[in-house]
Amino acid sequence: GLGGGDSGDGTARAASKCQMMEERANLMHMMKLSIKVLLQSALSLGRSLDADHAPLQQFFVVMEHCLKHGLKVKKSFIGQNKSFFGPLELVEKLCPEASDIATSVRNLPELKTAVGRGRAWLYLALMQKKLADYLKVLIDNKHLLSEFYEPEALMMEEEGMVIVGLLVGLSVLDANLCLKGEDLDSQVGVIDFSLYLKDVQDLDGGKEHERITDVLDQKNYVEELNRHLSCTVGDLQTKIDGLEKTNSKLQEEEERMKGQDKGGLSRGRELAASCPAVSLLDTSCLLLAGGGCSALLRLSTAFSCNRPNLLTSRRTAAVKRTK
């Protein structure tokens, strides 16, 4: 029996965690849509926003739901208290800049409840353009938040940090919110989904327009790339033509040099045959004068071939002188 009870409790806790996780995801998506609609409407108006602006009212409703998610029930002599103003009061201790907001909220005589004070605090923080900064201070000190929130609450999980990041975009807004005369205590915060359903339809139309724009951009890119490649091919063809002309000139020069070398070599051989005793230096000079530069090496070979005849003639002359 006890084992069955423990199993049932474990199942209930698991189901509760799953439910809290789904709630966090839903609230995060609602906050994304709320901020998007608010920024779009503010840009279209081009002026400061007041408390009657519907997207701004809806933003505060969604923000309040996010701050209420996973709040622990506080028991007191009066009864049970479950207000999101408790965590917001921590900001004053963690961030001295927020002391003005806390003082202003406490000094408003028309505020009778903690919920009303919490709503007034959000109004003032938005007008100061510090809402994201103040909530980030809270999330960075989860050990203090754990006194007010369950472990699976939005402010204790990753979704809380995501929402703080989204709130940074609201610093571009100019809000002029008058707290006097506002019945912040008894307002009932109900999310108006019609605003966001319309926005989703607009998003679908916008996606179609974005797809067409992407296709046109790709077409222009391909055309520009093709033009660039055509220019590159033209430049390469010009370089190839220039190289071919240079190559043909070099070939002609090589043929001309070969012709000069052959003429010089033949004249050198004729000279060596007619006058075997001529010195190698004289013959070389004659060859160079005739334009046979490379024939000099060949001449040395020819001269070595005629060297025995030259030695024989010298020996014969020496014998005759002796006699």
> Measured between alpha carbons, how far is 236 from 60 in angstroms, rounded to an integer?
65
Query: What average pLDDT does the segment 124-141 reach?
Result: 93
Is residue 279's pLDDT more than 50? no
Length of the chain: 323
Highest mean pLDDT among 98-112, 159-173, 206-220, 265-279: 159-173
> Measured between alpha carbons, how far is 101 from 121 in angstroms, rounded to an integer?
6
Give the pLDDT of residue 294: 47
231 or 249: which leads in pLDDT: 249
pLDDT in tens, 181-195: 777 887 777 777 666
> Measured between alpha carbons, how far is 60 from 126 in angstroms, rounded to an integer?
10
- As given in the structure block, the two tokens for residue 34 are 């709320």
Query: What average pLDDT does the segment 277-292 reach?
Result: 47
Is residue 167's pLDDT more than 90? yes
Query: What average pLDDT does the segment 296-314 reach?
Result: 49
pLDDT in tens, 56-113: 999 999 999 999 999 987 655 554 556 889 999 999 899 888 888 988 888 888 888 8
Query: What is the chain's mean pLDDT, rounded?
Result: 77
Give the pLDDT of residue 157: 93
| Share above pLDDT 70 across residues of the chain, in percent, rounded to a whole number | 65
pLDDT in tens, 26-50: 999 999 999 999 998 888 887 778 8
> Measured between alpha carbons, how far is 275 from 48 in angstroms, rounded to an integer?
116
Is residue 6's pLDDT more than 70? no
Give the pLDDT of residue 130: 92
53 phi-psi bin (left φ>0, alpha ψ -120 to 50, beta other)? beta
Highest mean pLDDT among 121-125, 168-172, 202-206, 270-274: 121-125
102 or 281: which leads in pLDDT: 102
How far lies 273's CA from each of 267, 290, 296, 303, in Å?
A: 10, 17, 16, 9
pLDDT in tens, 239-257: 898 899 999 999 998 888 8
Give the pLDDT of residue 177: 85
Is residue 310's pLDDT more than 60? no
